[in-house]
Amino acid sequence: MNKTLSWQPEFNFNDIEIRQREVQYQGYYQIHTVSLRYKCFSGNWGDWLVREQVNIAPSTAVLLLDPNRKKVVLVEQFRMGGLDQRDTASPWLLEIVAGYINENEVPEDAAIREALEEANAKITKIIPIQEIFTTPGGFTERTSIFCGLIDSQSIGQLGGAKEEHEDIKIHVLDVNDALNLLDHNLLTNASTIIALQWLKLNRDHLL
């Protein structure tokens, strides 16, 4: 790591002891219970703890941008995470294209594949934005976020892989309209917010 940076981790994987790991559930996700302890900032070892870990494959997310027409492509679909959130408007969320990375697939290739599957969009150039842990308190999922340059002229209204039970409505929006949704707190997905905030910061040279 660059030594001029203001922070780097004090500990690493050598500062963790795992006593036991058990698979408690195997379904769409896998849930483990892990007995572990780790070094504390005091220098001592902490107590032995049992924690649940939800194992989820790494994922990719891509903001589809048409710089010539100043458009972005967002997708709307039902999300299980919003099912019981009755204080929100709907469990159908508007997001950037996203999906899991297949085995032996690099994040960039997954982003290109998902753009075709979900939005019928062909990426001509891909730009890395950020890598994030989606919910690091207990979920293993790590998301690679990109911007993919496209031509939005021939994109249709519906997309998604039927064999994956995806039912997706495609929205081609003016950049300003998408950023207005962000400013009014109508976009709630972390990868989408990060990507559009990145676009806001970089729009002058991208457009």
Q: Give the burial string for 72-110 (b: 16+ CB within 10 Å, else e).
A: bbbbebeeeebeeeeeeeeeebbbbbbbbbeeeeebbeb
CA–CA distances in Å: residue 136 to residues 53, 56, 106, 132, 142: 10, 11, 22, 9, 9
CA–CA distances in Å: residue 52 to residues 11, 14, 21, 83, 186: 21, 21, 10, 22, 31
| Catalytic (active site) residue 164 | yes
Element (H, E) at 69: none
Whose tokens are 């508007």? That residue is 94
Count H helices and E strands in the chain, helices first. 3, 11
Out of 108, 117, 164, 166, pick the active-site residue. Answer: 164
Q: Name which of 32, 35, 33 is nearest 48 in CA terms.
A: 35
Partners of residue 42 on adjacent β-strands: none
Residues recognised as catalytic: 164
